[in-house]
Amino acid sequence: MYYEYYIMGLILIPGIILSIYASIKVNVTFNRYNEILSRNGNTADIIARNVLNQAGLTNISIVRTRGHLTDYYHPKKKLIALSNSVYGNSSISAIGVALHEVGHALQYKNNYLPIKIRNLIIPICNFANRFLWISILIGGIFYYTPLGQIFLWIGVGIFALSVLFNLVTLPIEFDASRRAIKILSATGELDEEELYGAKKVLNSAGLTYVAGLVVSILNLLRLLLVVLDKKD
């Protein structure tokens, strides 16, 4: 019945709402604490540089990259890229985001297990995703044939890999934020009140990864309903 297809579409609504909320939350929280400068006055890039040096990671460079909240750590290139809103900024938000990326660098240094697992999954996911929509398209065209069912189940497997990737990403991101707060507390770069603000910023950013996991799970569930649908 047609109403079943509407239900399949409605399944994604909670994930979409959560994603929108997470996006708004991270921007509002970042902007709020971006207006509050740290009492120490050190900029995010300088603090990140000092922490990296103290950890013996002098080979990791820190560069500026365009965009807003486009910060990342590139393990192969050994660099931390800080966005225009973070690099050279001494706000609570900027410092928290910069140290989050330092946390990722420390994860690689310490051979953090979830990082190893994700690195094993990434090439598999990249290869499989090339065939995702092809398998779903062929599966849809030949839905009532064994060939169609095979291709649809291949699509389910690829979506399951996406769920696994997002699931492994969660502890990585939350651990990087935990490391950031721990470092900022130990070094005294932020006092207790400032640390509270940094936590708020990083927790709101973590919500975006939770939303990503929820959306991937709902997409997998929706495809499973299509594959398991037995009507003629």
Q: Which residues of 96-122 are buried (b: 16+ CB within 10 A; e: fewer)?
A: bbbbbbbbbbbbbeeebebbebbeebe
Dihedrals φ, ψ of 62, to 5°?
-120, 125
Dihedrals φ, ψ of 111, to 5°?
55, 50
Q: Which residues of 168-190 are buried (b: 16+ CB within 10 A; e: fewer)?
A: bbebbbbbbbebbbebbeeeebb
Catalytic residue among 4, 35, 101, 192: 101
Rounded Cα gap, residues 62 and 181, in angstroms: 19
- 193, with CB counted inside 10 A (0-12, 13-18, 19+), is exposed
101 given a catalytic annotation: yes
DSSP string for residues in 113-163: HHHHHHHHHHHHHHHHHTTHHHHHHHHHHTTTSHHHHHHHHHHHHHHHHHH
Rounded Cα gap, residues 136 and 155, in angstroms: 6
Give the catalytic positions in this structure. 101
